[in-house]
Chain A
């Protein structure tokens, strides 16, 4: 019998060839064409043998090897964090001019409001040095400000969706309707695993302080891609991964013997049915077996010193906090995990924005800055893409009552801010501008598809060519859209 982990290393291409070769053998080599075909396949296999360990061949040499995506679920207010609009303070409580809103649809949470009073941010901003003439960041994010020279701000993101569910689905899968593979699944499919002892795509969730929206597992699903590419959620309490421990009385050698036997059955089934999911099943069982050893080592923070906790904040000692998850993300990345998806819930500040934003920001600011610093000093930042952002922005007008110390903001898809860092992104710059009200984009609009296209570009893929055939159509992460944002790619002539 072949060594067990072989299945894991078989490329999708090899699996496809296997299928084709079996079909050719089924023809019995009766025709000359079939014979030639078999020979050609043999040589193809040789060509592929050194390509990436799974999935399709890269289109060019990548700048990044992995991704950490910090998704701020709920849609944090760009106006109170990153998009500096000091002149708005002279328009406090004025009505938002119709020329600015311009008929933009509103959610039903504010469409019935009599007025749309301008709510300037009550937070003080500081200009931090970067590689341009500095970037203005709110007092809520001082630690993040301290690494501004590593960050690339995108002030002109926009999305099509106005409510959480479709907007998060769009950010995570490139499509508003559920069912497509997530960004992490595409990355796993494209890059394959770089550490056969851990899942290629891991998901870490932090419960926020503010209003929280549902977080469905399909945000990290694999859609029509083989299910080995779905994200593996790591839990914050109890076992990080469920059902990983052997039950009492089952030894590791018993487990091995059981897996070997089941694998034999599955291999027979796979040979008969050619069902790729059976192979996935074998590979996943083997992965789980190895994770019994690798996950406890991963989640054991006893080898982290006090300096680490000083850097990330003492919160990092409490599992499930954003700080602990940032630290875990670093540990996963340094072990070669391709895609780490963090969710920070609770950024949906319809009311009581100032108080909730203070608490939310305090929970993420130090840790996300620490992640940047820590990746950098370990030589990992250059090859790791870090993305920070929500699914949309928030309105400049107040939802509900406006006072100098309290206001709320509704969903705003027309513009929002994100930042990216490392992995071949241009550090220390800002791109794109919004109007005086932070309501419309006036310079260099960037759609979600563009960000996805740029991320794939840095990972070595042409987003128009990284496809997966499903139901008669070649599907892409970027569907029929997306342009690489050359201005933010390091070393690129924009």
Chain B
């Protein structure tokens, strides 16, 4: 409850200016962060909240740098990526000021550990937490389970055991992604395809017999008919010896008609 009141206060403070506008100090702080090549944007035109990503300078970001650049913006950050940086539990205190934070990405931050997780799960709005490739272990599971706001957690390549993951995944309304895929995703395999020429052409009588050619020898060359090379000519099924003969036939049907058996 206390946290809810606090977040309400933050919201009221941030809404002091008309919708979509940010206080002047935040504008300055955002400019300062941008000057250090931190990505700061306001993704939702109807909200003053910020998305922040340190991807461009990830390798140079440690706890000190993260604090100096981002702590002044804390109350307005809704989506924060510190992925591939060197932040650790020492950043937890200013991160806890991010009362509007809904998504935190600390993927591949090898110094993020259980102490970090235990601290930041107190964030009241935190819904998505990317912990993939961090040093978190089963000791984080209880803390994650204690959060009432969490909806998704990514834990691929953490030091969490399958039992720990199972305990986490059992929680209703919490999706856990540890990079595991179902071993077999196929439902059925069709029989080996076989090609036949059985179905009548649309609009023709539905009789298989109707597709047996009326001739034994090709009307063009006189060679034996290939059963797969048939086509309809004036309502009759005519067989040919190859794919080229129908073309010759079409050029002068009357000439080759004589070679076909009479009805």
Contacts and interface: CB of A to CB of B under 8 A. Distances in A.
Contacts of A91: 197-199
Contact of B20 (A47, A94, A121): A47
B39 interface: yes
Interface stretch (B1-9, B161-169, B175-183): B175-183
Given A60-B44, A379-B132, A93 B37 contact: no
A198 B56 contact: yes
A122 B27 contact: no
Interface in A11-62: 46-47, 49-53, 57-62
A89 B243 CA distance: 18
Contacts of B228: 92-93
A379 B105 contact: yes
Contacts of B186: 126-129, 145-146
A123 interface: yes
A196 B39 contact: yes
B106 to A, nearest CB: 10
A97 B201 contact: yes
Contacts of B191: 124
B236 interface: no
Contacts of B107: 334, 378-379
Contacts of A117: 243
Interface stretch (A1-9, A216-224, A239-247): A1-9
A100 B202 CA distance: 10
Interface residues of B, number: 73
Contacts of B35: 3, 5-6, 9
A120 B195 contact: yes
Contacts of A146: 181, 185-186
Among B21, B192, B250, max chain A CB count under 10 A is at B21
Given A93-B195, A115-B231, 10 more contacts: A49-B27, A50-B22, A50-B41, A91-B198, A91-B199, A128-B187, A194-B53, A195-B39, A377-B132, A377-B156
Given A50-B50, A336-B39, A379-B128, A93 B197 contact: yes
A114 interface: yes
Contact of A145 (B20, B42, B185, B250): B185
A376 B55 CA distance: 18
A89 B194 contact: yes
Given A115-B231, A194-B53, A46 B188 contact: no
A198 B53 CA distance: 14
Among A94, A136, A376, max chain B CB count under 10 A is at A94
Contacts of A402: 243
A contact face: mostly helix, strand, loop, or mixed: loop
B130 interface: yes
A61 B188 contact: no
Nearest to A149: B185
Given A97-B201, A402-B243, A124 B41 contact: no
A351 B228 CA distance: 20
A87 B196 CA distance: 10
A402 B196 CA distance: 13
Given A89-B193, A378-B130, A50 B232 contact: no
A423 interface: no
Contact of A86 (B53, B181, B190, B198): B190
B61 interface: no
Contact of A124 (B59, B182, B190): B190
B243 A124 contact: no
Given A402-B243, A404-B195, A51 B189 contact: no
A108 interface: no
B187 A192 contact: no
B72 to A, nearest CB: 13
A60 B44 CA distance: 6
A123 B193 contact: yes
A53 B37 CA distance: 11
A47 B128 CA distance: 29
Contacts of A51: 41-42, 45
Given A91-B199, A92-B197, A5 B185 contact: no
Interface in A116-161: 117, 120-129, 134, 136, 145-149
Contacts of A92: 195-197, 228
A120 B83 contact: no
Contact of A52 (B42, B57, B250): B42
Contact of A335 (B42, B55, B198): B55
Contacts of B105: 379
A443 interface: no
B27 A334 contact: no
A335 B191 CA distance: 45
A373 interface: yes
25 contacts: A50-B26, A53-B39, A53-B41, A60-B44, A61-B44, A61-B45, A61-B46, A86-B190, A89-B193, A93-B195, A95-B201, A114-B246, A114-B247, A115-B231, A126-B186, A129-B187, A195-B39, A196-B56, A197-B56, A294-B56, A336-B81, A373-B179, A376-B177, A378-B130, A379-B177
A333 B192 CA distance: 40
A60 B20 CA distance: 11
Contacts of A378: 107, 130, 132-133, 154, 156
A124 B156 CA distance: 34
B47 interface: yes
B34 A53 contact: yes
Contact of B187 (A6, A134, A193): A134
A124 B195 CA distance: 12
B124 interface: no
| Shortest Cβ-Cβ A-B pairs, 5 listed | A114-B247, A377-B179, A379-B130, A61-B44, A92-B195
Nearest to A54: B41
Interface string B23-51: 01011001100110101111111111010
A90 B195 CA distance: 6
A460 interface: yes
A269 interface: no
B84 interface: yes
B243 A129 contact: no
B243 to A, nearest CB: 5
A401 interface: yes
Given A114-B250, A401-B243, A336 B196 contact: no
Contacts of A294: 56
A377 B187 contact: no
Nearest to B232: A95
B136 interface: no
A376 B34 CA distance: 28
